[in-house]
């Protein structure tokens, strides 16, 4: 007997039949004697529809009212799931973010969770054996008492934060895949599902393009040492032993993993754009004159490469930004041309970032060098490189993305055996 938080994404609650399927998953855990809180997303496609309604009403809409509108998708799902649970004899009650309350910052559409009071839900576990069905993705700012939302994928973050607040034994993330793979199986059919992965490795995979979990949810899991289990909601609920270990991937501390590989997985992102600022005077403050305005515009800069000319008087700075911010980034740099003093601005949007991730890199030399050699043998040109303790990334032409991913996946022995 334990305490679980179960989170179900949009595809898992896409219609009434799937909501009934979710109810059966919840019933299995309740029947096994667990205290259960369920966190739900909006039905698949509903958040996009609500966002479009806001844009149609006014392109320059109030962010506070935007949050009031888009948070309604999860409210519908939580109520429907509570009804479905009650229909099969399970005591259940729906909760909105403000009712718990999930207290957040006032950054509407991208708020951060500050505090969660789980006292009432824990009280109802003990006194009523009641399942809490919680609307994910949302909270309330205590200063303004306005509804806030946590940004795309925010229900994952809600679930992990609630699990920590309720002192749960585990947070199960149910999705349309059965775990975390060494890379995207659609690109590499030989990709393997990982039984376990360390928080740090999962954090890098998520931040470098893997779409399984939102980055902030992994950060919260690591901070609170909350085990996260990624599993499929499409397995037959009655076929799963609630006391056993079903197919899936456990995200946990590195100490819990008996055997760690040098490389855990390969992530990639085609949502990249490259900008090169040419022939800038090589003097103190130039980098600040470029990246300061980008930071002020809330544009995230990733890979940065600097090349100094032979005479040492000028330099080129090349960096990447998300493709969605490409036009704004170019406009920002152009507006600051007088202060920066560059000769030319070059850019490219047909690029992709491929990242190799693994905690084992800490104790193994030459891991990146193997990749550079393997890519050169495939005539794949590397435009930029960044490295960290457990990751390195290369920027390449987008046309070679799949070839690069398959090459590196095989190189590091990640193919199914």
The answer to whether residue 290 sits within a structural domain is yes
At 255 the pLDDT is 83
186: domain CATH number is 3.40.1160.10
Q: Which of 179, 149, 144, 181 is nearest to 74 (CA)?
A: 149
Q: Does 212 lie in the same domain as 176?
A: yes
Cα(70)–Cα(148) distance, rounded to whole angstroms? 10
User: CB count, 10 Å around CB of 105?
Assistant: 16
User: Is-contact 276 317, C-beta < 8 A?
Assistant: yes
At 1 the pLDDT is 64
Question: DSSP H helical segments within 113-152, as ranges?
Answer: 119-128
Tokens 């844009």 found at: 55
Q: Which of 223, 257, 291 finishes a domain?
A: 257
Distances (CA, A) of 367 to 84, 199, 374, 380, 387: 51, 21, 11, 18, 11
Domain containing residue 318: 266-411
Cα(383)–Cα(305) distance, rounded to whole angstroms? 9
Out of 118-122, 180-184, 206-210, pick the least confident: 206-210
Q: Does 295 lie in the same domain as 230?
A: no
pLDDT tens-digit map of 34-80: 999 999 999 999 999 999 999 999 988 999 999 999 999 999 999 99
The continuous run of DSSP H or E covering 392 comes out as strand 391-397
Q: Does 169 lie in the same domain as 66?
A: yes
The answer to whether residue 109 sits within a structural domain is yes
Q: Does the model's pTM come out above 0.85?
A: yes
Q: Which of 214, 236, 257 finishes a domain?
A: 257
The answer to whether residue 364 sits within a structural domain is yes
Cα(318)–Cα(123) distance, rounded to whole angstroms? 56
The answer to whether residue 416 sits within a structural domain is no
Q: Does 280 lie in the same domain as 252?
A: no
Helices (H) and strands (E) in the chain, counts: 14, 18
Answer yes or no: is pLDDT of 250 > 70. Answer: yes
Q: Does 231 lie in the same domain as 273?
A: no
The total number of structural domains that make up the chain: 2
SS3 state of residue 41: coil
Q: Does 217 lie in the same domain as 311?
A: no
The answer to whether residue 309 sits within a structural domain is yes
Q: Which of 257, 286, 311 finishes a domain?
A: 257
The answer to whether residue 417 sits within a structural domain is no
Q: How confident is the model at residue 18 (pLDDT cuts 50, 70, 90)?
A: very high
Cα(82)–Cα(85) distance, rounded to whole angstroms? 5
Please state the rounded mean pLDDT for residues 345-359.
93
The answer to whether residue 396 sits within a structural domain is yes
Cα(159)–Cα(138) distance, rounded to whole angstroms? 11
Q: Does 348 lie in the same domain as 250?
A: no
Q: Does 180 lie in the same domain as 74?
A: yes
Identify the DSSP state of 257: -
Q: Does 135 lie in the same domain as 10?
A: yes
39: phi then psi, degrees, rounded to nearest 5:
-110, 130
Answer yes or no: is pLDDT of 312 > 80. Answer: no
Answer yes or no: is pLDDT of 319 > 80. Answer: yes
354: domain CATH number is 3.30.2130.10
Q: Which of 379, 300, 378 is nearest to 332 (CA)?
A: 300
Q: Does 212 lie in the same domain as 270?
A: no
Cα(10)–Cα(155) distance, rounded to whole angstroms? 10
User: Is-contact 394 354, C-beta < 8 A?
Assistant: yes
The answer to whether residue 404 sits within a structural domain is yes
Q: Does 311 lie in the same domain as 352?
A: yes
Q: Does 355 lie in the same domain as 336?
A: yes
Q: How confident is the model at residue 417 (pLDDT cuts 50, 70, 90)?
A: low
């Amino acid at each position: 007997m334990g305490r679980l938080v179960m989170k179900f994404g949009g595809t898992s609650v896409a219609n009434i039949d799937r909501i009934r399927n979710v109810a059966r998953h919840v019933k299995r855990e309740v029947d096994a004697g667990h205290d259960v809180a369920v966190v739900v997303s909006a039905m698949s496609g509903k958040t996009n529809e609500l966002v479009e309604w806001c844009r149609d009403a006014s392109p320059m809409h109030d962010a506070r009212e935007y949050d009031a509108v888009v948070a309604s998708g999860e409210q519908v799902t939580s109520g429907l799931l509570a009804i479905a649970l009650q229909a099969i004899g399970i005591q259940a009650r729906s909760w909105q973010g403000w009712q718990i309350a999930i207290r957040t910052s006032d950054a509407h559409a991208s708020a951060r969770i500050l505090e969660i009071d789980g006292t009432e839900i824990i009280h109802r576990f003990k006194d009523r054996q009641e399942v809490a069905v919680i609307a994910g993705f949302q909270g309330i700012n205590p200063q303004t008492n306005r509804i806030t939302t946590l940004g795309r994928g925010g229900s994952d973050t809600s679930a992990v934060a609630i699990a920590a607040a309720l002192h749960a034994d585990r947070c199960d993330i149910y999705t349309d895949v059965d775990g975390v793979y060494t890379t995207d199986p659609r690109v590499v059919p030989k990709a393997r599902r990982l039984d376990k992965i360390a928080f740090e490795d999962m954090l890098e995979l998520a931040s470098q393009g893997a779409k399984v979990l939102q980055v902030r949810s992994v950060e919260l899991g690591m901070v609170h040492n909350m085990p996260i289990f990624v599993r499929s909601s499409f397995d037959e609920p009655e076929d799963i032993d609630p006391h056993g270990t079903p197919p899936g991937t456990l995200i946990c501390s590195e100490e819990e993993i008996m055997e760690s590989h040098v490389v855990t997985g390969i992530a990639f992102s085609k949502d990249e754009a490259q900008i090169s600022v040419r022939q800038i005077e090589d003097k103190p403050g130039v980098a600040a004159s470029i990246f300061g305005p980008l930071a002020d515009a809330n544009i995230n800069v990733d890979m940065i490469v600097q090349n100094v000319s032979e005479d040492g008087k000028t330099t080129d700075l090349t960096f990447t930004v998300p493709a969605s911010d490409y036009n704004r980034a170019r406009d920002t740099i152009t507006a600051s041309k007088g202060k920066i003093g560059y000769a030319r601005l070059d850019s490219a949007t047909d690029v992709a970032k491929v990242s190799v991730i693994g905690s084992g890199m800490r104790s193994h030399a030459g891991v990146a060098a193997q990749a550079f050699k393997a890519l050169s043998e495939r005539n794949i040109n590397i435009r930029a490189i960044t490295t960290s303790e457990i990751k390195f990334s290369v920027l390449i032409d987008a046309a070679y993305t799949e070839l690069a991913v398959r090459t590196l996946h095989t190189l590091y022995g990640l193919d199914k055996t």
